[in-house]
Amino acid sequence: MEHLVSSWYNDRSLPESYILPPEDRPGMLPLGKNIPVVDLGAPDQTDILQQILEASQEFGMFQVINHGVPSNLIDEAMSVFKEFHALSAEDKAIETSKDPDKSCYMYTSSHNYATEKFHFWRDGLLHHCNPLEKYIQFWPEKPPKYRQVVAIYTAELRKVGFRILEFISQGLGVNPDHFRGELGENQRVLVNHYPPCPDPSLTLGLCKHRDPTVINILLQKDVYGLEVFKDEEWIGVEPIPYAFVVTLGVLMQIISNGKLKAAEHRVVTNSNLARTTAAFALDPFNETLIEPAKALVDANNPALFKSLSYKDFLIKYRADASYGTTPEELLID
């Protein structure tokens, strides 16, 4: 835990190991453009489907509003996530080491702290959520309401996730339950924390990456930081306090046989506000085979991606230092 940014960032200038090469630094604040915002409460389901499909093809990312998760639950969840990251390093270590199989753990920067060339200005708490009875015993017990609030929050996010996956399935023309079986049942929450940073122009909270997931549903609340790369430029993702940002991951690009796009995104830091976000991911199990959906493959539409287990996918993804594998690396030659 000694490396956690939140344990030492106060009153220090940016350490050398966090200073990125000029080409990877944030540059100018993107202005003017936005990603699509989809109103899930709108009466016309066909219209919602169309908007989700277009955003998934063009951006691989969109925001959803009127998603049905109560705003007081979102407030409570954000409070316990912030309170967790405000604990002492010692408490955080105790609260995240209850499972010998490490279904709940903390890390800082990326999964490759020891080997990465540069570090990123982020601490992360990651834990499994489904099935709840199996995993809740390993979740933090500090703050005292953590388990109770996060159990309800993640159950709600699961509903939102499957609703969006159903729209995507329909849009793709695959079985509406395509993601209901193994593909979306491994659910995890990653609570990111980005303390105020002494020089946001030289570093990033997270480098440009695509998520190693099917989809990710992010709560960013009201602090700016997320940016998506589209048509060779960065677009800022405007914080809408009770919206969720839906990001399609590399697995969705593979399963859709390239019809949908995994969004490339990054996180910038800021000098006066701490930023806490919670990313809820729907993923397959380790042994699940990842491959283009059969309904999308025929003689005229050959499979573009290799089949591999989720476990092998993750090994490949994580082997590439902090940047992660790209869908292109998994293309069939």
Ligand X SMILES: O=C(O)CCC(=O)C(=O)O
- The entry of Fe ion, ligand X, none near residue 190 (CB within 5 to 8 angstroms by kind) is ligand X
Q: How many residues bind ligand X (CB under 6 A)?
A: 12
Which one among 154, 192, 257, 322 touches ligand X, defined by CB under 6 A?
A: 192
Q: Contact between 226 and ligand X (CB under 6 A)?
A: yes
Closest approach, Cβ 325 to Fe ion, in A, equals: 14
The neighbour count for residue 70, using CB atoms within 10 Å, is 12
Of 178 and 221, CB closest to ligand X: 221
Whichever of 277 and 288 has its CB closer to ligand X, that residue is 277
- Cα 10 from Cα 120, distance rounded (Å): 16
- List the one residue from 123, 211, 264, 283 that touches ligand X (CB under 6 A): 211
For residue 222 the two structure tokens come to 């009201």
Q: Which is nearer to ligand X, 69 or 245 (CB)?
A: 245
Only one of the segments 20-28, 65-73, 150-158, 220-228 lies at the binding site for ligand X (rule: CB under 6 A); that segment is 220-228
204 in contact with ligand X (CB under 6 A): no
CB of 332 to ligand X, least distance (A): 27
The residue within the footprint of ligand X, chosen from 48, 64, 190, 207 (CB under 6 A), is 190
Binding partner at 267 among Fe ion, ligand X, none, C-beta below 5 to 8 Å by kind: ligand X
| 211 vs 283 by CB, closer to Fe ion | 211
Q: Closest separation between CB of residue 226 and Fe ion, Å?
A: 8
Residue 262 contact partner, candidates Fe ion, ligand X, none, CB within 5 to 8 A by sort of partner:
none
Instruction: Compute the distance between CA of residue 226 and CA of residue 224 in angstroms, rounded to an integer.
Output: 6
C-beta closer to Fe ion: residue 95 or 211: 211
Q: Is 108 in the site for ligand X (CB under 6 A)?
A: no
Least separation in angstroms between CB 56 and Fe ion:
16
Mark 118-157 with x for binding to ligand X (rule: CB under 6 A) and - for no binding: ----------------------------------------
Distance between CA atoms of residues 120 and 105, nearest Å: 18
* Residues binding ligand X (CB under 6 A): 190, 192, 206, 211, 218, 220, 225-226, 265, 267, 277, 279
